[in-house]
Amino acid sequence: MQRRSFLRNASLATGAFALSNYKSFAFRPDDPWKTKTLRNNVGIFTEKGGTIAYLLDKKGIVVVDAEYPEQATHLITLLKGQSPAPFEMLINTHHHGDHTAGNISFKGITQHVSAHTNSKANQERVAKEKKTEDQQLYPDITWDDNWHYKIGHESIRTHYFGAAHTNGDAIIHFEHANIAHMGDLMFNRIYPFIDKSSGASATNWMTVLDKAMQTFDGETVFVFGHGANIDKVTGTKQDLKSMKNYFEQLFDYTSRQMKAGKTKDEIVKATILPNVDDWKDDFKILPTNLGIAYDELGGK
């Protein structure tokens, strides 16, 4: 799997565009793709797209996000080989194609697809724009704030804290396992994509990260939509704090440049963002993010 190549290709395709016993987190070296069990029969799958999480319960299988059709088919085959239980629920963290294009592979397999109301609306809008309606499997269950789903021994709760990466991003929490899938609310150690065409807010993204850190405890394992490498698609609150720092530095730098009399065109020429040395701009998205910060700070 080439995560960097995937992200670059996904950005073009979508118009912009992943704890106590670390041994249990080791990826299986014989996988043609990458899977690992995290805790309580909850695992993750990565191949090409946003990180997938899944639950294997005797009562049924739950999957969070679906990458692309080919990758979703690989996952379905893998999970069928591990459990005879039926696929009960597919949950989308948000609408972007690297998370929902694979939904169609679950048609006739999963009982339900669930997502935030705005996520479904965005998925429908983008499909109409691209004329790919026939390639979609839309959610049949939607919600505006929190939603709760119980299956077997696991309890799954969603959390929506407002616009951030888009206006429809939700956190999916496996409560008993204490694993929270952040979707693209977390780009771990790589500069994030802020999808203004889908109602994103860089300003509120910081608030969303704060609320996530307040909601989940120190034992929570976080699953991230994307990471700088395969080891960065899971993490802790410290990673959320680091991403909030990215936004703080983005706005601080932009504000200081504005106060110094710099124009938007001058500000977006920057190639380095100070004080985020462990974060990488592999996809040269800093100018776009600086422009968004300028606009959200009220620049004219």
pLDDT tens, 219-231? 999 999 999 988 9
For the chain, the average pLDDT equals 90
287 located within any domain: no
Instruction: Give the pLDDT confidence score for residue 223 in this predicted structure.
Output: 98
Helices (H), 140-236: 202-215
157 located within any domain: yes
**Residues 6+ away with beta carbon under 8 Å from 253:** 270, 273, 274, 290, 293
Instruction: Give the pLDDT confidence score for residue 283 in this predicted structure.
Output: 85
274 located within any domain: no
280 located within any domain: no
Residue 75: both structure tokens together:
């996952």
250 located within any domain: no
Backbone φ, ψ for residue 181 (5° rounding): -85, 115
Task: Please state, in angstroms and rounded to a whole number, the distance separating the CA atoms of residues 67 and 103.
Answer: 8
247 located within any domain: no
Range of the domain at 14: 3-236
Question: Which residue, 52, 22, 29, 62, is CA-closest to 236?
Answer: 22
C-beta of residue 55 within 8 angstroms of C-beta of residue 88: no
pTM value is: 0.90
Confidence of residue 32 (pLDDT cuts 50, 70, 90): low
Question: 87-91 and 60-64 as β-strands: parallel, antiparallel, unpaired?
Answer: parallel
Helices (H), 15-130: 69-82, 97-100, 117-130
Task: Please state, in angstroms and rounded to a whole number, the distance separating the CA atoms of residues 93 and 82.
Answer: 24
State the total domains in the chain: 1
209 located within any domain: yes
Residue 158: both structure tokens together:
């969603």
Instruction: Give the pLDDT confidence score for residue 299 in this predicted structure.
Output: 87
C-beta of residue 93 within 8 angstroms of C-beta of residue 183: yes
231 located within any domain: yes
For residue 42, give the H/E element and its range.
Answer: strand 42-46
For residue 188, give the H/E element and its range.
Answer: strand 187-188
Q: What is the CATH number of the domain that holds 171?
A: 3.60.15.10
